[in-house]
Amino acid sequence: MKVKILLTVVASLLVGFLFAQTDNAEKKVGVLNHPNHILFSPLYFFNGTFMLTYERLFPSGSLRISPSVKLQHIDDYRFTQKEGLGIDLGYKFFLTKRPFRVNFYLGPYALYKSVKVKKAVDKHSSIKTYNTDIYDVVGLGVDTGVKFIFGRFTMDVMAGGGIRYAYLNGRSFDSSYALWYDVDYKGIVPRINLSLGAAF
């Protein structure tokens, strides 16, 4: 009787151990079974930008492509509108050998965006005339963050920064009074982002 109980306990422990190992292996493999990720960045809504990200996972990291559309009406007093398109490219080097549920990463990024800024020449006139400027913005930098993968759900928390340069109507210009979040800013910029998405 004692031998049966002992064998049952040993068999239960062995089955439990094998199940845990198999489950853990399936979870690790499952991450790469769904290497395509689509993510949405809700924080960009605060400055009138809609951004989606496509990300492709590899054993050592992931390639990221983030197109964006900007449509922003500042206010009725200044009569300013901004609209444009952008593209943000980056590669994430995972600090682990392969993607797991929690992945710390570090990697470079490059961006380009073209933004059309439309301003009223005379804000007090009943008949509005507008002046339109086009800003071309380029940037390079480094991102660091954490990527979470839970089955088909994925989330990314990122902080980084780099150098940004802007051209006004195809020419260089003075941007001494611009702030780091303005479209006409040139210099070192920080950036943060939160992205939510799905894997397939």
The answer to whether the beta carbons of residues 200 and 33 sit under 8 Å apart is no
Distance CA 148, CA 131 (A): 45
| Model confidence band, residue 64 (pLDDT cutoffs 50, 70, 90) | very high
Helix (H, G, I), strand (E, B) or coil at 21: helix
DSSP 93-161: EESSSS--SEEEEEEEEEEEEEEEEEEES-TT-SS--EEEEEEEEEEEEEEEEEEEEETTEEEEEEEEE
**What does the pLDDT read at residue 15?**
40
pLDDT digits (tens, 9 = 90+) for 115-151: 999 887 766 666 667 789 999 999 999 999 999 999 8
Specify the pTM: 0.76
Domains of the chain: 34-199 (2.40.160)
Distance CA 197, CA 13 (A): 38
| Model confidence band, residue 6 (pLDDT cutoffs 50, 70, 90) | very low
Distance CA 21, CA 86 (A): 45
pLDDT digits (tens, 9 = 90+) for 146-200: 999 998 999 999 999 999 999 999 888 888 788 888 888 999 999 999 999 999 9
| Model confidence band, residue 9 (pLDDT cutoffs 50, 70, 90) | very low
